């Protein structure tokens, strides 16, 4: 938890931006696994944490902009609870730590809310049920209560990271980097993918933090969200590891490395890795305030196409290829996303509000529709940069049959890459006044550096 002044200042800024009205903040409750009281590791809602800092279940907060008052609602523990959970501070004591002087039991919430509060979009079933109860409305009408001005005010504020947030983000990415180095050093031919996930969870827990999302740890890197960890990793395979740790104050890290299971990449792997690495560096060099991230994404796509033309997998005019979406044969997703207390920061508020503007709408085209951030960068934005090349056999078949990209794709050559897999390189950056700064401890990223880690570890 930060100093109370930080939370007071954050709430004051929100009140100033909203001007009037009542704002409701639902904290997260415990999340049930296979019966009510068997719980997943607790995670507080990020917006609740941002304005109210308390990482405990059973809390609801209200900001009254008209009266300039902040409230936290929750029930104090009783002796029966204390047997199971140990002595706990009261709600009033907790609230005092974040500068909130008005507290009450949850039963008092309805009287204050009186149906007037504005809400943010719910993303857990329990939220919908709780909102239905608080506002006495059928569950299907709950989404009508969501306030776009409230969403925009929160997104505008949270999109610019303050000094204390950048310290946390640096911690998160440093732990993330530590995890990746441990994995890159430990991987051995014959191991299972889940043994590398085991290392990641151990390093995170050794630091007393959680992972910020379920790791992707796979020799089938072409599957973008792969949570199967059952394959054996063998010499000749490339291992894609995408993983992030949280900081003590719940900020996220998010990095990807793709490394050879052998001591070095083979020729094809090295060629495509070089292309992704060049796209990564080109994108990072382009980061600066005022630059649209959509344009950085397209620049990375062009760099990928140039490289793919160089190895004979693509052909034709580079800009025309990108304009026709030909790069989506290899790069189906976005170049990056905002990162903060959520790894895809504020995805629950809606990507249109977090990554786009009233003038710049999110695309619905394949490829661009997966770009979570399109708008102009500002100092204090924290983002990921994660270009990749993914060879997806089903997509080759589909595009080939449609014939629409024949002018840009060399299908004969591509067929020989059918089982290649996927490569992604991902790092995290803060936008500065003049460009960008890498977050976290630098980690081997150039192909020679990656091979150096692998070969020196394998020779131990």
Residues 200-259 that bind a second copy (CB under 8 A): 201-206, 208, 213-214, 220, 222-230
For residues 120-156, one letter each, b for 16 or more C-beta atoms within 10 angstroms of the residue's C-beta and e for the rest, the string is bbbeeeebeebbbebbeeeeeebeebbbeebbbbbbe
Nearer to a second copy, 205 or 449 (CB): 205
Distance (Å, whole) CA 391 – CA 420: 6
Show the site string, 321-340: x = touches a second copy by CB under 8 A, - = not: -----------x--------
Angle at 165 between CA 151 and CA 157, to 5 degrees: 25
Segment 381-400, which members bind a second copy (CB under 8 A)? 392, 394-395, 398
Dihedral angle of Cα 383, 347, 33, 75, to the nearest 10 degrees: 110
Tokens of 279: 């796209």
Minimum distance from CB of 194 to a second copy (Å)?
A: 4
Show the site string, 107-136: x = touches a second copy by CB under 8 A, - = not: ----------------xxxxxxx--x----
Segment 413-452, which members bind a second copy (CB under 8 A)? none
Nearer to a second copy, 201 or 457 (CB): 201
| The only residue of 16, 19, 39, 285 in contact with a second copy, by rule CB under 8 A | 39
Nearer to a second copy, 86 or 442 (CB): 86
Minimum distance from CB of 19 to a second copy (Å)?
A: 27
| The only residue of 104, 166, 198, 407 in contact with a second copy, by rule CB under 8 A | 198
Distance (Å, whole) CA 241 – CA 230: 14
Count the site residues for a second copy by CB under 8 A: 72
Distance (Å, whole) CA 332 – CA 241: 18
Minimum distance from CB of 260 to a second copy (Å)?
A: 21
Cα separations in angstroms, 295 against 156, 192, 282, 314, 373: 21, 39, 12, 21, 10
Segment 341-360, which members bind a second copy (CB under 8 A)? 341-344, 346-348
- List of residues 6+ apart from 449 with CB closer than 8 A: none
Strands 255-260, 216-218: parallel, antiparallel or unpaired by DSSP?
unpaired
- 84-92, 144-152, 274-282, 284-292 -> range binding a second copy (CB under 8 A): 84-92
The 3-state DSSP class for residue 114 equals coil
Nearer to a second copy, 15 or 171 (CB): 171
Question: Helix axis angle, 148-158 relative to 4-18, nearest 10°?
Answer: 140
| The only residue of 17, 97, 192, 292 in contact with a second copy, by rule CB under 8 A | 192
Nearer to a second copy, 228 or 411 (CB): 228
2 forms part of the interface with a second copy (CB under 8 A): no
Nearer to a second copy, 107 or 434 (CB): 107
Strands 69-73, 102-104: parallel, antiparallel or unpaired by DSSP?
parallel
Distance (Å, whole) CA 367 – CA 265: 28
Name beta bridge partners: 338: 383
Count Cα neighbours of 403 within 13 Å in the Cβ-side half-sphere: 0
Nearer to a second copy, 271 or 417 (CB): 417
| The only residue of 14, 15, 27, 45 in contact with a second copy, by rule CB under 8 A | 45
Nearer to a second copy, 27 or 99 (CB): 27
């Amino acid at each position: 938890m930060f100093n109370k002044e930080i939370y007071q200042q954050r709430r004051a800024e929100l009140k100033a931006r909203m001007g009037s009205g009542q704002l409701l903040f639902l904290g997260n409750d415990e999340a049930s696994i296979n019966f009510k009281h068997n719980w997943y590791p607790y995670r507080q809602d990020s917006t609740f944490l941002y304005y109210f800092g308390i990482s405990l279940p059973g809390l609801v907060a209200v900001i009254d902009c008209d009266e300039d008052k902040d409230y936290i609602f929750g029930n104090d523990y009783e002796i029966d609870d204390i047997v199971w959970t140990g002595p706990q501070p009261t709600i009033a004591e907790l609230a005092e730590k974040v500068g909130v002087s008005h507290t009450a039991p949850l039963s008092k919430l309805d009287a204050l809310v009186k149906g007037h509060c504005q809400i943010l979009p719910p993303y857990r079933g329990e939220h919908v049920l709780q909102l239905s109860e608080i506002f006495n409305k059928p569950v299907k009408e709950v989404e009508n209560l969501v306030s776009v001005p409230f969403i925009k005010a929160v997104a505008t504020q949270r999109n610019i990271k303050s000094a204390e947030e950048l310290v946390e983000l640096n911690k998160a990415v440093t732990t993330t980097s530590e995890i990746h180095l441990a994995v890159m050093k430990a991987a051995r031919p014959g191991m299972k993918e889940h043994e590398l996930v085991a290392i990641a969870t151990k390093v995170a827990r050794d630091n007393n933090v959680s992972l910020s999302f379920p790791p992707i740890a796979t020799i089938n890197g072409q599957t973008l969200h792969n949570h199967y960890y059952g394959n054996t990793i063998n010499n000749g395979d490339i291992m894609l590891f995408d993983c992030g740790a949280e900081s003590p104050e719940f900020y996220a890290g998010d990095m990807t490395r793709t490394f050879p299971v052998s001591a070095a990449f083979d020729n094809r792997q090295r060629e495509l890795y070089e292309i992704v690495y060049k796209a990564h560096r080109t994108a990072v060099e382009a980061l600066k305030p005022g630059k649209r991230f959509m344009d950085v994404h397209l620049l990375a796509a062009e760099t990928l196409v140039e490289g793919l033309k160089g190895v004979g997998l693509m052909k034709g005019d580079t800009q025309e290829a990108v304009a026709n979406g030909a790069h989506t044969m290899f790069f189906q997703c976005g170049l990056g996303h905002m990162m903060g207390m959520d790894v895809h920061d504020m995805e629950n508020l809606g990507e249109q509000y977090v990554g786009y503007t009233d003038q710049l709408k999110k695309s619905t085209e394949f490829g661009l529709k997966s770009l979570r951030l399109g708008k102009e960068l500002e100092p204090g934005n924290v983002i990921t940069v994660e270009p990749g090349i993914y060879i997806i056999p089903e997509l080759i078949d589909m595009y080939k049959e449609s014939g629409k990209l024949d002018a840009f794709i060399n299908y004969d050559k591509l067929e020989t890459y059918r089982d290649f897999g996927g490569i992604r390189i991902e790092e995290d950056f803060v936008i500065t006044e003049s460009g960008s700064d890498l977050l976290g401890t630098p980690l081997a990223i150039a192909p020679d550096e990656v091979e150096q880690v692998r070969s020196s570890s394998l020779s131990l």
